[in-house]
Amino acid sequence: HFILGDSITSIGEESFYDCSNLKEIQIPDSCKYIDRWAFGYCTSMVAVNLGNGMEKVDRSAFGQCSSLTNVNLGTNIQEVSYQFLAGTSVSSLYVPKSLKIINDYSFAFMRKVERIVFEEGIKIESFGQYAFTANTLLTSMSVPYGATELRDTFWDCTNIKEIHLPSTVTAMSGNFIVNAYNIEKITYDGTVDEFSNVNMSFLTGYLQKTKFVQCTNGVYCIVHTGGAATCQELAVCGGCGLSYG
């Protein structure tokens, strides 16, 4: 167990890297920033509380902390970076509404995570690509409000079944759902007309178990042809003959 002094404002790059006997770290509210790989490969660490002053956690800050199961992000976190919890054993993560910036791969490669919950009232200002990639135990996800382009978001999330999209989404592209074989339900917090404006012209891959998005006032059928997505506002799709329900 290690307690940082109240005067600490940041934790430098690789400060505790490969401290294999460190089990728990107490971070004071005075600390606002954790640099890259600060606690990387602290393989005995089981819990961390970032404190209520923390604003940014940089790339791989807790990368490969394989015993880490309990993470409290505090109430003031504003930005998270590339794979900051990759290779941990966190199964459930609560994200406060203070978060504004989700960089590329921020929540990716969390192989043990089953739930990521964003606090009600969150409004994301920047949403990177590959945000939840390769979280193979994740079964459902509500994309946080404010996210616009969803690029490669759920790539290799092989067990995800339900996805909820906010009305702020303007595009889905790349490998958004590639290898997400078990998707059964997609919902959208907007109308059919609003969803019809979502750009899917650069979307690759396909939906295995459902081709429908449930909107607030009806359903929208997604038909994939030649690797690109085309859409029709129909309960029975004229392109593939599928009917909703």
Which residues neighbour 229 within 8 Å (Cβ) at sequence distance 6 or greater? 172, 200, 201, 203, 222, 223
Is the per-residue pLDDT at 232 higher than 50?
no
Is the per-residue pLDDT at 235 higher than 80?
no
Is the per-residue pLDDT at 103 higher than 70?
yes
156 closest CA partner among 168, 138, 129: 138
Is the per-residue pLDDT at 48 higher than 90?
yes
pTM, rounded to two decimals: 0.88
Instruction: Give the pLDDT confidence score for residue 204 in this predicted structure.
Output: 65
Strands 212-215 and 218-225: antiparallel
Mean pLDDT value of segment 34-40: 97
Is pLDDT larger for residue 210 or for residue 140?
140
* Per-residue pLDDT tens digits for 154-168: 999 999 999 999 999
Start-to-end Cα distance in the chain: 54
* Per-residue pLDDT tens digits for 194-227: 888 888 767 765 554 556 788 888 777 665 433 3
